[in-house]
């Protein structure tokens, strides 16, 4: 029987996985600068966590979750997003006792049952940050700036940030009535999903891509904001202006999850056909109380980026993405004694900090040199029995073609020192 991977799941093979490492390492490096610390939560959680946190009337909970009963007949769900699990870990482990803002980041696979297409997989990957313990508009702006800085650091061109305020629960209740009055005359013309959302979560109708053209003249939630919500939104915008983060206000932006309050935002970039959203987030005051108990409630704000979409945009825009790292040294042994000595030398080279490999297939010189070239080796060291007897080794620089003899007991130190010097010059 020939096995194949499940529909909508990826294999990241050598030659591609290095691109993913680049995306993840860039995100981790930026998180260190922003002082966010990594948290790792389970890939599956109790289903009720997502129903309560994400919202029972969302598409994620209604249609897209991978839910199953375990052997004890408990309902378990593969995580469809990262925030609920991080907030659960924050509350369960009493991180709210920290007098400072708790700043966390996560990276890993998420799972949603969707029809696979470009930028949308059933197993997909996100990088996200969460800041818990502050209601300040400044931390909203910091989280938005993080995602924008990440896209810019990767080299994505023309990143657009769209922001909105979705107010509080009371504001949304007032807005809901006005929105329903606007939508009711066109109900039968709307798509099936929109008609369903009108009954349970009408704000989500505004997020529909099919019927977007029908919503000209729709009421704006920004007109319903109270003084505190409006002030918060204006201060977020002021901080973004001060940081030089460009943005557009989109009063129809509601996001697809129920836990958002006040600030909501998305990152847009061209390169994936009709899909242009590569990530987003917002503030979720009240979510900690829902998950961990009202007595421990803390304000929070976060964002996440879909790494599949980020990579697709980078490739579509022709951005430079580092591939497989070049090899510092490739060893070739000619002759039985020399071949045995290359095994020891290879181990010594790696201990000295050189990325090194050797010919393991007993190939002739020409074939071994082709292998070194395919591996992008900077230096090739060739050792024959005669060189071994003379205590020297032949080293060829693959870029310049220069070939030189070095003492056998010194050549690894010489190459390692050259690598360190080049790294120091690159940092200066």
DSSP helix/strand/coil, 356:
strand
Chain centroid to Cα 140, Å, comes to 19
| Same-domain status, 67 and 147 | yes
| Same-domain status, 272 and 336 | no
| Same-domain status, 347 and 311 | no
For 289-306, the DSSP string reads HHHH-GGG---EEEEEEE
Q: Give pairs for 13-17: CB < 8 Å, separation 24+.
A: 14/324, 15/323, 15/324
Q: Cα-flanking dihedrals φ and ψ of residue 417, to 5°?
A: -65, -40
Whether 190 maps to a domain, the answer reads no
| Same-domain status, 163 and 271 | yes
- Domain ends where: 287, 316, 345? 316
- Domain ends where: 296, 316, 336? 316
> Is residue 38 within a helix (H) or strand (E), and if so which, with residue range?
strand 37-38
| Same-domain status, 405 and 265 | no
**Mean of pLDDT over the chain:** 89
How far apart CA 333 and CA 359 sit, in angstroms, is 8
Residue 256: the pLDDT is 61
How far apart CA 109 and CA 307 sit, in angstroms, is 10
| Same-domain status, 369 and 260 | no
Q: What is the CA radius of gyration of the chain?
A: 28
Q: How many independent structural domains does the chain possess?
A: 2
| Same-domain status, 51 and 115 | yes
Whether 1 maps to a domain, the answer reads no
**Residue 416 sits in a domain of what CATH number?**
3.40.50.800
pLDDT in tens, 82-99: 999 999 999 999 999 988
Residue 137: the pLDDT is 96
- pLDDT band with cut points at 50, 70 and 90 for residue 67: very high
Whether 207 maps to a domain, the answer reads no
Alpha-helix residue ranges (DSSP H) falling in 324-364: 336-351
Q: With a cut of 80, say whether residue 193 has pLDDT above it.
A: no
| Same-domain status, 47 and 78 | yes
| Cβ atoms of 395 and 406 closer than 8 Å | yes
Whether 101 maps to a domain, the answer reads yes
Whether 107 maps to a domain, the answer reads yes
pLDDT in tens, 272-319: 776 788 999 999 998 999 888 888 899 999 999 999 999 999 999 888
Whether 217 maps to a domain, the answer reads no
| Same-domain status, 230 and 84 | yes
| Helix/strand/coil percent split, the chain, to 5 | 45, 25, 30
| Same-domain status, 56 and 114 | yes
Residue 428: the pLDDT is 61
Whether 262 maps to a domain, the answer reads yes
**Residue 89 sits in a domain of what CATH number?**
3.30.930.10
Pairing of strands 123-132, 102-111: antiparallel
Q: Give pairs for 95-99: CB < 8 Å, separation 24+.
A: 95/132, 96/132, 96/133, 96/288, 96/292, 96/296, 96/298, 98/133
Residue 355's domain comprises 327-427
Buried b (16+ CB within 10 A) or exposed e, 274-305: ebbbbbbbbbbbbbbbbbbeeebbbbbbbbbb
pLDDT in tens, 307-366: 999 999 999 988 888 777 789 999 999 988 999 999 999 999 999 999 999 988 888 889
Q: If you average pLDDT over residues 417-425, what whole number do you get?
A: 85
pTM of the model: 0.87
269's CB contacts (< 8 A; 6+ apart) are 151, 156, 157, 158, 159, 160, 276, 278, 313
Whether 172 maps to a domain, the answer reads no
| Same-domain status, 128 and 32 | yes
- Domain ends where: 266, 287, 316? 316
| Same-domain status, 300 and 334 | no
């Amino acid at each position: 029987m020939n096995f194949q991977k499940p529909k909508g799941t990826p294999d990241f093979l050598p030659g591609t996985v290095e691109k993913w490492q680049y995306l993840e390492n860039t995100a981790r490096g930026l998180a260190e600068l922003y002082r966010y610390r990594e948290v790792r939560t389970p890939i599956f959680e109790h289903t009720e966590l997502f129903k309560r946190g994400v919202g029972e009337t969302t598409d994620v909970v209604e249609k897209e979750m991978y839910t199953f009963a375990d052997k004890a007949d408990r309902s378990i769900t593969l995580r469809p997003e990262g925030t609920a699990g991080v907030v659960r870990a924050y509350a369960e482990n009493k991180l709210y006792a920290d007098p400072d803002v708790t700043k966390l980041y996560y990276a890993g696979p998420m799972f949603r049952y969707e029809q696979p297409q470009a930028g949308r997989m059933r197993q997909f990957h996100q990088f996200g940050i969460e800041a818990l313990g502050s209601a300040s508009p400044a931390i909203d702006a910091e989280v938005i700036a993080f995602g924008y800085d990440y896209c810019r650091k990767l080299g994505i061109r023309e990143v657009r940030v769209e922001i909105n305020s979705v107010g509080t629960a009371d504001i949304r209740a007032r807005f809901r009535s006005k929105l329903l009055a606007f939508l009711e005359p066109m109900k039968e013309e709307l798509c099936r999903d929109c008609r369903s959302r009108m009954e349970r979560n009408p704000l989500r109708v505004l997020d529909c891509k099919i019927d977007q053209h029908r919503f000209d003249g729709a009421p704006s939630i920004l007109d319903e904001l109270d003084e505190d919500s409006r002030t918060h939104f204006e201060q977020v915008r002021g901080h973004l202006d001060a940081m030089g983060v460009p943005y557009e206000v989109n009063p129809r932006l509601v996001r697809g999850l129920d836990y958002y309050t006040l600030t909501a935002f998305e990152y847009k970039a061209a390169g994936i056909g009709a899909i242009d959203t590569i990530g987003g987030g917002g503030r979720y005051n009240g979510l900690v109380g829902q998950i961990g108990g009202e007595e421990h409630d803390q304000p929070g704000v976060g964002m996440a980026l879909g790494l599949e979409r980020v990579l697709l945009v980078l490739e579509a825009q022709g951005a430079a993405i580092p591939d497989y790292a070049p090899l510092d040294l490739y060893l070739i042994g000619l002759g039985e004694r020399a071949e045995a000595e290359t095994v020891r030398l290879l181990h010594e080279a790696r201990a000295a900090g050189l990325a090194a490999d050797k010919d393991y297939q007993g190939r002739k010189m020409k074939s071994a040199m082709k292998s070194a070239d395919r591996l992008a080796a900077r230096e090739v060291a060739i050792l024959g029995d005669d060189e071994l007897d003379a205590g020297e080794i032949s080293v060829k620089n693959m870029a310049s073609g220069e070939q030189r003899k070095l003492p056998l007991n010194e050549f690894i130190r010489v190459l390692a020192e050259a690598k360190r010097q080049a790294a120091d010059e690159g940092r200066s």
